[in-house]
Amino acid sequence: MGSDTVVHTVGTKVWIRDEEESWKKAEVIRVENDQLLLRTESGEETKCKAEDAPLQNPDTRGGVEDMTRLPYLHEPGVMWNLRSRYMLDDIYTYTGTILIAVNPFASLPHLYGAHMMDQYRGADLGELSPHVYAIADAAYRQMRKEMKGQSILVSGESGAGKTETSKLIMKYLAYMGGYKESGREGGKGGPSVEEQVLESNPLLEAFGNAKTVRNNNSSRFGKYVEINFNKDGVISGAAIRTYLLERSRVVAVNNPERNYHIFYQLCEGASVEQRARWKLSAAADYFYLNQSTCFELPGVNNAEEFKCTVHAMTRVGIPEADQEAIFRTVSAILALGNISFVAAGDGESSVPQPGKGEQYLATTAELLGVDKEGLCKALTTRTRQTPEGPIVSPLDAKAATENRDSLAKVIYAKMFDWLVARINNAIGEDLNCAASVGVLDIYGFESFQYNDFEQFCINLANEKLQQHFNQHVFKMEQAEYEREKIDWSYIQFVDNQDVLDLIEGKMGILDLLDEQCRFPTATGADLAQKLFSSNLCKDSKRFSKPKRLVSAFTIDHYAGDVTYECANFLDKNKDFVVAEHQSLLGSASLKFVAELFYEAPVEAAPDAKGGKGLKGFKFNSVGSQFKKQLADLMTQLHAMEPHYIRCIKPNSVNKPALFENKNSLHQLRCGGVLEAVRISCAGFPSKRPYPDFVDHFWPLAPELLRTDLDDQEISKRIIEKTGLAGYQLGETKVFLRAGQMAQMDKLRTDKLNSAAIRIQRSVRGYLARKHYLQAMQRVLLLQSCVRAYFARMEYKHMRETKAAITIQRFYRGYAARKEYQKSYRLVLLLQSMWRGRTARQRFEHMRRLHASVTIQNTYRAYRARADYESQRQAALVFQCAFRAKAAKRALRQLRADARESSKLLEDKKALEVKVHELQATLEVVQKQRNELRQQIKDEKAALADSERKCKELEGEKAALAAQAAVATAAELEAIKSARERAEGEAESLKTQLAELTERAAKEKAELEKKLASARDWIDRQMNERSDIEKKFHAMKDDLITRLQNACGQRDEARAQVLELQAEMEKMRESLTVKERQLTLASAAAAAAAVAPASSPAPAANGAPAASTPATEGSRLMENFAKRAPGYAKAISDSMSTILSFNTPPPGSRPGREEEAGARTPDIR
């Protein structure tokens, strides 16, 4: 194939890389040599090389069920097809015979159940939509047909749905294994084999599954279930094998993960009797569980799950005695974790912490059936056998804690292995079976920020399975090529054997790890240096040393580079049982525990001096055991026909309808799906049946459709015409090398574009000619219409000119009349405005004069009140200071007297006298209170009398207003203002009187309250008289202080009453004065009203008369002002001003305004 740019043209849909979405869609807008200018769906433009922009597949709604049918099989095509199907809840997709299952994180009940099992039973693979039942049915039918073992390998990362998929497979196999032609097989007398196989799942999940950050029910061990079938296809037995249980989780849990489910189920599901028997408490009380704050799972009831676990134990055939022993052992592990140690002696030894540590030590010993002292010794000491005899070495607190955790991990691992063996014994493996189907549920490839020994072993297992997977995919490709009878001998197979040799080969990483574990003082850094100096590691391209990490190494796996930390490799690789633990628990009184630790004695190798002795422990390597297990597993898988299911976790938040491209691509890469795509691309990735090929590429040779050639011959001639090389023609399909399909699509697009250009040229010429003729006709029609329009416009202009002249004549006459009328109205308006202005000026002068008088009155009253308030405040401050000084002096005297212990008896007697005096004082105060009440009643009567007088004054004012109604308008206005001021002052007096009354009531209430408080205090003192000698000083100070306060309050109340009386007297005098003022004002107003009628007329010559009403009223007001101070004087001033304003000045002539009005021209 030539350059990659030949497959791209303008408008080609391609994929380009993206940092967030991994791949995104784009369109080619220009081709520049080996560079493409692209526009994304968001409108952004970018450039990239042609080889970095793979072509998009034709848009298929909902994707394709088998991705081998995609025209372009590459990474973005696989990703987009899975995404499209996932968004439509099509979670299963084929890649050949490989099933890809995407976790929906939601319930899809319509996809599972007996109705779906019946639908897929007997259907060929690919006949129906992709489904896990289809894979299980294909394995079962192929097993029945060939009588050869089948294996179903389920892999994926934590949370991808491996466990649920394995359950569905086993349910289907149990369904098919119990199916007979006559119907369902009814089990009698006990559970059937298929029921026991299904019930083993919840049991192993309880003891081997836990919550992790990614999954709430993550399997922390690998599981291979082999189901045996007889010649009739009925289940005859089964066997379960487990791999690499995560022991460290028993003693260390990260937040917010959880420990194994069984611990929480036992703590919440055990009955009261069982909790007492097994010494159980809440999960939060155990150290192995409370390292994380997560104790509950959403939607999971631990108590109900415990019942399910017990039921599963019963169904698989575990008797109640063994169930009791298992739960007892689980409780012992929890109690063991709560044993804490403290340093003893010189700090090199340790003992259980007094209190809870010793209590949990006794509980653990009782539950395990061992001696308490023996358990304490096994945890805090270490015995080493030497030729001279055993040496017992104490352990410090840290080493004892590690020893405790090691024992807990060993007990749990042995119990888990015993449980698996018991399940196998209960179900029973049929060694004479006709064939079997194995289901492998194993952990997927793992790569974290911190990778430890567990990730190393898990990735080793995935490398082995990936090699098996690659061989199977290559084998399938070979089978298809052989069916189509094409040549495939030159296709190279890419293997990962070099990684396996690096890890498990001779003197590989596992061998070097085992060798380093034999040195007691070796560390992780020593292991890393040994690996770096190894010739096998240095020569391998897959092994590298990190730049910044000293005790770490990096391996290039098939899914990417992974860096492993060596710090814990040595400890986790050692699988040994301490001799003290073995001897102690092997002799336990609890039969179950003794069986777990039963082991024949093992002699140690001779030492350097030729002697023999027992070591402190039996060394065993986890890596070597796991390597052997993997070898046995791969041997068994190679003897079977494999079927693959790859589980994908679409997002990291466990939510439905959310597909993260980058995360999913990483899992496809780790699961080997993209590796399978690369293997397919190494051969003939583009395969199309002849009819489909002809239907798609016939435009490259359209003349061949008119011949009688068949589709195979037409396809051959089309390819020959394009000039491709390296293709193959099979029996039913055309096989093209990588990129050839894109090249043919480019030629097809160019051919279709060329034909489209010729069609467009002819159509555009025809349309141009047709448009020209239509334009000519429209121009002629437009010219005639325009000329007629101009003629009509000229005629219309002449008519409008004549009409305008007529309208102007009439409008000018109307405008002249309107102007005259406007001038006439303006003259009238000016006259009225001048007269109104004159009247307003006089009124404004009167208003300003009245306002100035009111302001002066208010300001003078304010100054008087302010002076009074300042003097009163100063007096109060002086009084307070003086009283405080006197009180301090008395306090100092009292304190001096209290210090004299010799006067205690005299003070006691004096206090008794004081008590009697207080009682007398209380009677006096009560009498004074009654007098105050009488005074308040008198004040209320006086207040009522004042109100009555106010009402009489108001009546007199009303009468005065009626009499003054006949007065002149100016005099009436003055009287009204005087009356309003009088009413205002009356209201002010009422307000002050109300305030005084309210203040007196408040003071009276306070006085009564204080008197009641004094009475209560005296009563309490009388009751506590028996204790007066012990509390003498405090009582004396308190009594004197309260008495002084009461006396002071009484004096203040008396002073306030006297002040109220003085104010009442002043108010009475003020009211009397105002009554006289009102009387005088009424008399003056009456005189002013009568004066005009009795005054003589002016002289004929215009000179002023001897006595006028204005002058007479002025004299009356002057006399009234001399005698009436304050408010009456203000009324007098106001009336004088009014009278003087109304009186013309000397020399003025009456009727001036009339004369001025006569001189004003009247245009009317």
215 is catalytic: yes
CB neighbours of 168 closer than 8 A, spacing ≥ 6? 112, 132, 133, 136
Residue matched to tokens 């239509």: 774
Choosing from 93, 163, 331, 534, the catalytic residue is 163
User: How many Cβ atoms are within 10 Å of 218's Cβ, its own excluded?
Assistant: 21
Q: Indicate the residue type of 927.
A: K
Neighbour-count burial for 404-438, b at 16+ CB within 10 Å, e otherwise: bbbbbbbbbbbbbebbbebbbebbebbeebbbbbb
Distance CA 731, CA 486 (A): 9
Which residues of 1016-1107 form beta strands (DSSP E)?
Answer: none
What does the alpha-carbon distance between residue 674 and residue 152 come to, in Å, rounded to a whole number?
19
Instruction: Copy the structure tokens of residue 148.
Output: 């050869």
Give the separation between CA 598 and CA 582, rounded to whole angstroms.
Answer: 8
End-to-end CA distance of the chain: 116
Catalytic site includes residue 163? yes
Phi first, then psi: give them for residue 179, nearest 5 degrees: -85, 135
The partner residues of 543 in beta bridges, in order of sequence, read: 555
Q: Could you give the CA distance from residue 725 to residue 727 in angstroms, rounded to a whole number?
A: 6
CA dist 332 and 278 (Å) reads 8
CB 705 within 8 A of CB 718: no
How many Cβ atoms sit within 10 Å of the Cβ of residue 925? 21
Name 119's Cβ contacts closer than 8 Å, sequence gap at least 6: 128
Q: What angle do CA 283, 286, 290 make, to 5 degrees?
A: 75
The secondary structure of residue 69, as a DSSP letter, is G
- Active-site choice (95, 218, 686, 1136): 218
| Radius of gyration over every alpha carbon of the chain, rounded to an integer in angstroms | 58
Question: Any catalytic annotation for residue 446?
Answer: yes
C-alpha 296 chain-centroid distance: 20
Q: Catalytic pick from 97, 103, 151, 158?
A: 158
Which residue matches tokens 């899975």?
82
Selecting among 12, 219, 436, 1114, the annotated active-site residue is 219
Q: Which residues does 76 contact at the CB level (< 8 Å), separation at least 6?
A: 15, 22, 23, 54, 56
Q: Which residue has the tokens 């060798």?
A: 515
Active-site residue (options: 77, 337, 444, 672): 444
Residue 1056, CB half-sphere, CA atoms under 13 Å: how many? 19
C-beta of residue 334 within 8 angstroms of C-beta of residue 287: no
Q: Tokens in use for 409? A: 């991990």
List, as one string, the DSSP characters of 829-843: HHHHHHHHHHHHHHH
**C-alpha to C-alpha distance for 1040 and 917, rounded to whole angstroms:** 12
The CA distance from 350 to 398, in Å, is 9
Give the separation between CA 1034 and CA 251, rounded to whole angstroms. Answer: 65
Catalytic residue among 96, 159, 178, 739: 159
Phi-psi label, residue 467: left if phi above 0, alpha if psi -120 to 50, beta otherwise: alpha
**DSSP codes, 502-514:** HHHSTTSHHHHHH
108 class by beta-carbon count within 10 Å (0-12 exposed, 13-18 middle, 19+ buried): exposed
Active site residue 219: yes
- The set of catalytic residues is 158-159, 163, 215, 218-219, 444, 446
